[in-house]
C-alpha cells in the first residue's frame, strides 16, 4: 500500500469518527466495538456475495447500465464463463469497501464444464485463480479481496433445481429440462482442481492469498461414491 493511500485512510477514518455520535466513536477507539473498513464508512457498502446464475442468464454489464462499459451476452463457452466470473468480481470491487465472493460457485459453474477432461477443467480453474490474483484493481492498487464457497459435490438443495446457463433456465419450458444433480462429476473434478491449484501455488511456489476458498464438507458428501 502506498504512502499516500495510508495518509488518505488515516484522514478519512478521523473524519468519520468525528461525524459519528461520540458514544459510538469512543467505543470504537476503546476497542469495545469495531467498524470494519472505517475509511469507507460513509461512501461504500462493505462486501457482497454474488450468485453466478445472474451473470449466466443476463450476461455481463460491468458498469451496471452499459453506459461506459461494453455489454456481453450470456457466456456460451467455459472460458467465457470463467472470464465473466472474474470480471464481475473486479468491476464490483471498485464500489465496495470489503470483499467479493461467490455463493455455491462450483455447482453453478459446472454445466459449462460438461464432459471436459480433467486436464482442461484444471486449466479453467488456473485461469480463474490467476486472473483474480493478477489484477491490481482494488483501492490503492490492491488485489480483489475475494472468496468462493466450495462444496465437493452438488448439495442436496440443488440436486433437483433446473440449471441456469447459456442465457436460459433449463426447466423444460424455455430449454430442455436439466438439473444441477446431473453435473456431480463436474463439480467433484472442479473441487479437486481447485485444491490442487491452490496447494501448488504460483509459478514461484508462493501461496495464493486470494481467492480464499470457503470449503463446506457436509455429512451428505461423505456417503457418496
Same domain flag for 49 and 29 = no
Residues 21 and 97 in one domain: no
Which residues sit opposite 150 in a β-bridge? 215
- Residue 82 sits in the same domain as residue 169: yes
Residues 23 and 82 in one domain: no
Per the CB < 8 A criterion, the answer to whether 3 and 9 are in contact is no
Per DSSP bridges, beta strands 48-50 and 100-102 are parallel
Cα–Cα distance, 25 to 162 (Å, whole number): 48
The residue segments making up the domain with residue 36 are 1-43
Q: Give tens-digit pLDDT for 192-220.
A: 999 999 999 999 999 988 788 888 877 77
* % of the chain residues with pLDDT over 70: 87
Check whether residue 121 and residue 212 sit in a common domain.
Answer: yes
Distance CA 106, CA 185 (A): 11
**Rounded distance between C-alpha atoms, residue 83 and residue 59, angstroms:** 11
pLDDT for 181-196, tens place per residue? 999 999 999 999 999 9
Tell me, yes or no, if the pTM score tops 0.85: no
Identify the H or E element spanning 178: none
Is the pLDDT reported for residue 93 higher than 80?
no
One domain for residues 122 and 206: yes
Who contacts 63 (Cβ-Cβ below 8 Å, separation ≥6)?
A: 69, 91
Domain total for the chain?
A: 2
Task: Please state, in angstroms and rounded to a whole number, the distance separating the CA atoms of residues 179 and 164.
Answer: 9
Q: For residues 95 and 25, what is the distance between their CA atoms, to the nearest angstrom?
A: 25
Q: Which three cell numbers stand for residue 215?
A: 470449503
Closest listed residue to residue 178, CA positions, set 156, 192, 158: 158
What is the model's pLDDT at position 6?
Answer: 82
Are residues 106 and 11 part of one domain?
no
Residues 124 and 62 both lie in one domain: yes
Amino acid at each position: 500500500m502506498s504512502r499516500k493511500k495510508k495518509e488518505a485512510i488515516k484522514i478519512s477514518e478521523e473524519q468519520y469518527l468525528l461525524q459519528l455520535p461520540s458514544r459510538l466513536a469512543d467505543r470504537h477507539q476503546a476497542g469495545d466495538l469495531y467498524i470494519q473498513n472505517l475509511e469507507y464508512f460513509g461512501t461504500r457498502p462493505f462486501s457482497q456475495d454474488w450468485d453466478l446464475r445472474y451473470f449466466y442468464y443476463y450476461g455481463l454489464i460491468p458498469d451496471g447500465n452499459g453506459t461506459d462499459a461494453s455489454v456481453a451476452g450470456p457466456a456460451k463457452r467455459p472460458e467465457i464463463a470463467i472470464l465473466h466470473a472474474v470480471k464481475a468480481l473486479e468491476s464490483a470491487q471498485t464500489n465496495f469497501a470489503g470483499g467479493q465472493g461467490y455463493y455455491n460457485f462450483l455447482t453453478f459453474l459446472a454445466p459449462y464444464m460438461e464432459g471436459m477432461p480433467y486436464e482442461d477443467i484444471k486449466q479453467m480453474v488456473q485461469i480463474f485463480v490467476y486472473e483474480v490474483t493478477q489484477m491490481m484493481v482494488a483501492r490503492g492498487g490492491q488485489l480483489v479481496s475475494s472468496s468462493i464457497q466450495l462444496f465437493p459435490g452438488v448439495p442436496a438443495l440443488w440436486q433437483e433445481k433446473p440449471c441456469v446457463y447459456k442465457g436460459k433456465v433449463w426447466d423444460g419450458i424455455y430449454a430442455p429440462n436439466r438439473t444441477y444433480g446431473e453435473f456431480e462429476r463436474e463439480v467433484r473434478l472442479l473441487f479437486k482442481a481447485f485444491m490442487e491449484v491452490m496447494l501448488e501455488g504460483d509459478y514461484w511456489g508462493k501461496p495464493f492469498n486470494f481467492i480464499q476458498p470457503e470449503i463446506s464438507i457436509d455429512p451428505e458428501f461423505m456417503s457418496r461414491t
